[in-house]
Amino acid sequence: MSKTLLLVGTRKGAFLLDSDADRRDWNLRGPFCEGWPVYHVVQDSVTGDIYAAAASEWHGSAVWRSKDFGETWTLSSEGISYGEDSPRKVSKVSTLAVRNGRVLVGVEAPGIFESKDGGETFSLLTTLAGQPGSEMWDDPANQPPGHLGISAIALDKKDDSRFWAIVQGIGLFETADDGSSWTPRNRGLRADWPRPHEEVGFCVHKVVRSDDSRLFQQNHVGMHRSDDDGHTWTEITEGLPTEFGFAAAAHPHDRDTFYTIPLAPLHGRTMPDGKATVWQTKDAGSSWRPLRSGLPQEDAYLGVLREAMAADTYDVPGLYFGTSTGQLFASNDEGESWNEIASYLPPISSVEVAIVD
């Protein structure tokens, strides 16, 4: 029988939860990674290896890995550096993407490193040099911490040489040749602030691949959909309670069904009116409906970060999200009903799900 594995990154280490295909009862293990702040935990579906992007305030950034479903962990940062003499520093490994033993690591200052040996060693793949906006992220005044990193990498479902990278506050970029060349993919997005370049200057929070041609994105200003691989975007915010949010997930079997968690904009960034709600569209963003059954509806000022929502791939898919105050919620019926499966975790940075045969 299949096992369902939730991979949770928190400010105080990584946690793993497992269940069967029913996804009702969960067993939690952790914290792993010695309690380091963990920003993203992923599993390679081919090798089964688990990777965690972490950055210790004392000991720097590294990628932790487990080859035995979390029983033992090792870490490496060998090669994750811009060099001794470079003004660029790696302050944080912030996001991971993995397939077939190859690990892509997005970092601050913006760059992507890769490992082809299962996370033992890394080498620089790209800094997206020369792209519009790169003068901003190459400016030492804008160097991290806290500025202009690669905040997410989205893989194509079929083509390993093709993926998308978000540069914080700059926008979305696509490569179709494994990082050798890049193209801004922000046409049609909205920005309510002045921009020095036509093609960039957008605040992309989360991009989700829906099918072979469709992408969704939660932006600082609005939800957006692309039906042409990100070449052009159409805003689909109407019907949502706010335009702001971080997390998003796509239904694995229905290209028109998609989920997001709107948050109050500005500094609050929690669920509006203290009512925990996931919003679903079944018509590609033409209309939205709230999913609240089982979620707290009173005084629930919960925040959810960009990597903290996931969908599994069962016939009736499950959905999961974790909050910045340590609650973890799961649905085994496409979001129609929810259960709180962990209540007192450290602040949650990421939630991913894997099905292990």
Partner 1 sequence: MAELHLPGTLTPLFAGLPRRLDVEAATVDDAISELERQWPGLRDRLCEPGPSLRTHIHVYVDRERASLATPLEPRSRVDVIAAISGG
Q: How far is the CB of 335 from partner 1 (least distance, A)?
A: 34
What is the token pair recorded at 226? 């692309």
Sign of the C-alpha dihedral, residues 203, 231, 123, 51? positive
Q: What is the DSSP string of 323-350?
A: -TTS-EEEESSTTSS-EEEESSPSPEEE
- Does 308 bind partner 1 (CB under 8 A)? Our answer is no
- Does 147 bind partner 1 (CB under 8 A)? Our answer is no
| Nearer to partner 1 (CB atom), residue 11 or residue 255 | 11
What counts of helices (H) and strands (E) characterise the chain? 1, 28
- Does 56 bind partner 1 (CB under 8 A)? Our answer is yes
On whether the CB atoms of residues 219 and 244 are closer than 8 A, the answer is no
Sign of the C-alpha dihedral, residues 285, 212, 164, 196? negative
Q: How far apart are CA 272 and CA 276, in angstroms?
A: 8
Q: How far apart are CA 174 and CA 75, in angstroms?
A: 29
Among 18, 26, 48, 82, binds partner 1 (CB under 8 A): 82
In the numeric block, the tokens 């079997």 are attached to 253
Q: How far is the CB of 119 from partner 1 (least distance, A)?
A: 12
Binding mask 188-217 toward partner 1 (x if CB under 8 A, else -) reads ------------------------------
Among 84, 192, 298, 357, binds partner 1 (CB under 8 A): 84
- Does 59 bind partner 1 (CB under 8 A)? Our answer is yes
Q: Give me the residues paired with residue 162 across strands.
A: none
Q: How far is CA 221 from CA 31, 191, 210, 291, 292, in A?
A: 35, 7, 20, 22, 24
Among 1, 27, 71, 83, binds partner 1 (CB under 8 A): 83
| Region from 75-83, 192-200, 325-333, 336-344 binding partner 1, contact rule CB under 8 A | 75-83
| Region from 16-24, 69-77, 190-198, 328-336 binding partner 1, contact rule CB under 8 A | 69-77
| Nearer to partner 1 (CB atom), residue 89 or residue 162 | 89
| Nearer to partner 1 (CB atom), residue 88 or residue 214 | 88
| Nearer to partner 1 (CB atom), residue 120 or residue 178 | 120
| Nearer to partner 1 (CB atom), residue 75 or residue 309 | 75
Q: How far is CA 193 from CA 189, 201, 231, 305, 317, in A?
A: 12, 9, 22, 23, 38
Among 21, 45, 48, 78, binds partner 1 (CB under 8 A): 78
- Does 81 bind partner 1 (CB under 8 A)? Our answer is yes
Q: How far is the CB of 83 from partner 1 (least distance, A)?
A: 6
Binding mask 3-42 toward partner 1 (x if CB under 8 A, else -) reads -------------------------------x--------
Residue type, 184: P
- Does 85 bind partner 1 (CB under 8 A)? Our answer is yes
- Does 60 bind partner 1 (CB under 8 A)? Our answer is yes
For residue 20, count other CB atoms closer than 10 A to its CB.
12
Q: Give me the residues paired with residue 208 across strands.
A: 216
Q: How far is the CB of 76 from partner 1 (least distance, A)?
A: 6
Nearest to residue 61, comparing CAs of 177, 149, 174? Answer: 149
Q: What share of the chain is helix, strand, coil (3-state, %, to 5)?
A: 5, 40, 55
Binding site for partner 1 (CB under 8 A): 34, 56-60, 62, 75-78, 81-86, 89
